Amino acid sequence: MYMKPLHQSWSAISRLFQDKHLSFASWMLLLLCGILQFIFSLPHVIALRKLFLLIAFLIAFKYFWETVKTKPKLLLSAVIAFVLLQIWMLVIIGFISNQPWASFIEWKGQWLPTFVSFVIGIGLARTLMLSRLKAPHVAILLSILVPITVFLCLNAIAIVHDWILAGKFLGSPIGIAEHHGVSGYLVTLLGPMLIVDMLSRFVKGNRLLPVSVWVILALFIFLICSLILTTDRNGLIIMLLTLIMCTPMMASEIRKVYSLKKIITFSMATLIIILAVALASYKTDPRWQNFFETIPIAWDIDHDLLWLDRVDANEAPLTPSGKQVDISTYTRIAYAHEGWRMLMAHPWGTEIARDTFHKLELAKYGRAKMAHSHVAWIDFGLEVGFPGLLLWGLVLFLLTRLGWQNWRTYKEPLGLALAVLVIVFAVRGLLDSIFRDHELEQFMLVAALLSGALSFTKTYIPQPHVETP
C-alpha cells in the first residue's frame, strides 16, 4: 500500500492552518486548547490551568451558545443532562451535605471547570467546522493528539533519565507527571483515535489524520511501550479493550472489503498482538503473579482490617499457596467492596468532596488512610448518590450514542472514535478514580471537541482517501 511521504503529509497539515482560513477567535481557542492538553497532566500548575480555562471559556461561550440554539438533538440532550447533574449537586450542597460551604467550594473547584471544558470544546469545534478549512476535523484531532504525544515523549525521556541517574530500573516511575498512572489515562484518550484511524484505512481508505500509516503504527507502538514503561497495567487493559472493541464494531465494513480468509488472518494477527502485549505485561509486572489467589482474600473485608491500614508487603495476608497477596490487588478490591457498602448505605449521596470515602471510613472505623476507593463510579456515587450516577451515566450514554449514530449512518470514523473513547473512559472508571481533577476536565474537553465536530456532519462530509497505486 502506497502512502504519501512523511514530509508531504506534514505539508498537508501546515496548509490546514493558513491565516485566511481561521478567525482570530479560532486561532486563540486552538492555541489555548493545545496548551491545556499539555499542562492538564503537569503537577503544580492548577492556577495556570484555571486561567487558561477562563480565557478560553470567555472566547468560546458565544460559539457554544450558537451551537445550543441550533438544537443538535443528541449534543443538546447531553448538555441538558450535564446541567441537570450540576443542579443535583447544588441540591446536595444545600440540603444533604453537613458542610454546605466546603461542598460548594469543592464543586466550584472540580465540576465547574469540567463544565467550562465542555463549553470550550463545543465552541472550538463549531468555529473550526464552520471555517473554510478543507478538513476541519484534522485540526480538531491534532489539537488533541500533538500536545498529548509531546507530553508522553517528554515523560518517557524523564523516566529514562531517572533510571540512568539511579543506575537501575525504578518501580512505578513518574517522570514529569504527578503519578505513574497519568500515562495510562492519556493513552486512553489517544488509543481510540489511532486504532480507528488504522482500521478505517484498511477498510475504506479513509483516514482521520493526514500522515502515513507507518507514523500511526509507530505512535501506537510508542503508546504501548509507554504503558509498559510506567508499569500501568490498567492502562494496558484499557488499550487492549479498545483494540478488541473497535474490530467487531467495524466487522460489517471489514467483511465488505476482505475475504473470509483475510479476515481470519487479520483476526489471528490481532490476537497475537494482544497476547504479546499481555505476556510482556505479565513478565514485567510482578503484580500479576498472584492476582487470582488474591481476589477472594481481598473480598473478605470482615475477616480482618489489614486493608484499612494499607498494610506493607511483608505484613500482607497469605494465599492458600503460602505466598503473600499482591498488595495492589488486595487493597483495591477491599476498598471497592467497602465503598459499595457505603454507597448502599447512602443512596442519595452525602457531600461534594473528593475524600468522601476517607471521611466515611474514619466515621465507621475510627481510622482511615485511603482517600478514595479506586473505583470512580463508587467514589462519585458516595458524593451524588444514585440520582447523580444516573445523570452522569446519561451524559456518557448520549455522547456514545452521538458517536455511534454518526458511524452507523455516515460511516464517519470520528463517530466510532468518540463512541469507543466514552466507553473505555467509563470502563476505566471501574479501575481508577478518574471522575475528578484534571482527568475529568481533559476528558470532557476531548469528548466535547469530537461530539461538537460530529454535530456538523451535514456541513462536513469527509471524503475517502484514495491511495495512488
Q: What is the mean pLDDT of the chain?
A: 84
Task: Spell out the SS3 assignment of 77-142.
Answer: HHHHHHHHHHHHHHHHHHHCCCCHHHHHHHHHHHHHHHHHHHHHHHHHHHHHHCCCCCCHHHHHHH
Looking at mean pLDDT, say which of 40-49, 77-86, 251-260 comes out highest: 77-86
Domain that holds residue 33: 23-172+375-454
Whether 39 maps to a domain, the answer reads yes
In a domain, 215, yes or no: no
Identify whether the C-beta of residue 119 lies closer than 8 Å to the C-beta of residue 65: no
Instruction: Give pLDDT, residue 53.
Output: 96
**Candidate from 308-322, 353-367, 375-389, 402-416 with smallest mean pLDDT:** 308-322
Give the pLDDT score at 47.
Answer: 92
pLDDT digits (tens, 9 = 90+) for 381-393: 999 999 999 999 9
Higher pLDDT, 17 or 338: 338
The answer to whether residue 355 is domain-embedded is no
Q: What is the pLDDT of residues 263-302, one digit of tens each?
A: 777 677 777 877 776 676 666 555 666 777 778 888 888 8
Q: Which of 18-22, 145-149, 447-451 has the lowest mean pLDDT?
A: 18-22
Looking at the domain assignment, is residue 252 inside a domain? no
Pair 262, 204: CB distance under 8 Å: no
Position with higher pLDDT, 21 vs 452: 452
**pLDDT-based confidence at residue 1 (cuts at 50, 70, 90):** very low
C-alpha cell at 402: 452521538
Tell me the C-alpha distance between 242 and 246, whole Å.
Answer: 6
The answer to whether 196 and 418 are in contact (CB under 8 A) is no
pLDDT at 468 over 70: no
Task: Tell whether 344 is covered by a domain.
Answer: no
Considering only residues 274 and 50, tell me which one the structure prediction assigns the higher pLDDT: 50
Of all residues in the chain, the percent with pLDDT exceeding 90 is 46
Q: What is the pLDDT of residue 226?
A: 85
pLDDT for res 283:
63
364 domain-assigned: no
163 has pLDDT over 90: no
Query: Rounded to whole angstroms, how far apart are CA atoms 326 and 293?
Result: 9
Pick the residue with more confidence: 294 or 462? 294
Contact indicator for 116, 49 with CB cutoff of 8 Å = no
Q: Which amino acid is at 118?
A: F
pLDDT of residue 285: 59
pLDDT confidence of residue 4:
46
Chain centroid offset of residue 90 CA: 26
Q: Where are the beta strands (DSSP E) in 189-344?
A: none
Percent over 70 (pLDDT), the chain: 85
Which has the minimum average pLDDT: 253-267, 275-289, 417-431? 275-289
pLDDT exceeds cutoff 70 at 7: no
Beta bridge partners of 324: 318
Kindly state whether residue 413 falls inside one of the protein's structural domains: yes
Give the residue from 122, 123, 125 showing the smallest Cα distance to 137: 125
Is 77 part of a structural domain of the chain? yes
- Please report the sign of the dihedral spanned by the C-alpha atoms of residue 341, residue 343, residue 347, residue 352: positive
* DSSP reduced 3-state for 261: helix
User: What total of structural domains would you count in the chain?
Assistant: 1
- Interatomic CA distance for residues 288 and 316, integer angstroms: 16
pLDDT for position 466: 39
Tell me which DSSP letter residue 210 carries.
S
296-355 pLDDT tens trace: 888 888 877 777 876 665 666 766 766 777 777 888 888 999 999 999 999 999 999 999
Q: Which of 469, 462, 468 is nearest to 197 (CA)?
A: 462
pLDDT-derived band at 87, boundaries 50, 70, 90: very high
